[in-house]
Amino acid sequence: MTTFNFARATAFTVAAAVMSFSLPTLAQVDADAAQELFKQNECQKCHNPEKSKKGPSLKKIAAKYKEKKLDEKEAIKHMTAGKKVKLEDGTEEDHKVIDTKDVKAQTNLAKWILAH
C-alpha cells in the first residue's frame, strides 16, 4: 500500500506553479533576434547594455521604464516615432527610427531592452 506524502505533493505543486509563471516569460524574448535587429539598426552606436554612450545604457532605459511603469508599447513608440531625444551630454537630436514594420520584431526588441 502506498502512502500519500502531503509535503512532497505540496512542494511539487509549488514548483510546477513557479515554473509555469517563469518559463513563458523567458520564452517571450528571442534574445538572438533582438540583438540582431539592434545591430542591424546600429543601435549600439548610441546604446550599450551596461554603459551609457551617446545615449543611455539599456540598463538605464529599463530602470526608467520600470520606475515610470511603462511597457514595451511605449518603447516601440519611442523607437518608431523619430522624436527629439536628449543625449547624455545634454544636446538633442532626432532618435533614429527602427528599420522594421514587423510588430513582432519590434515587440521582441522592446522586451529585450526592457529586460536589462
Mind giving me the DSSP string for 42-71?
TGGGTB-SSSBSSS--HHHHHHHHHHTT--
Provide the pLDDT for residue 22. Answer: 40
The reported pTM is: 0.75
Provide the pLDDT for residue 21. Answer: 44
Cβ–Cβ under 8 Å, residues 80 and 97: yes
Report how many domains make up the chain. Answer: 1
Specify which residues 85 forms β-bridges with: 93
Question: Does 89 map to a domain?
Answer: yes
Question: Does 7 map to a domain?
Answer: no
Which domain covers residue 104, as residue numbers? 30-114
Question: Does 75 map to a domain?
Answer: yes
Residues of the chain with pLDDT under 50: 17-26
CATH of the domain at 75: 1.10.760.10
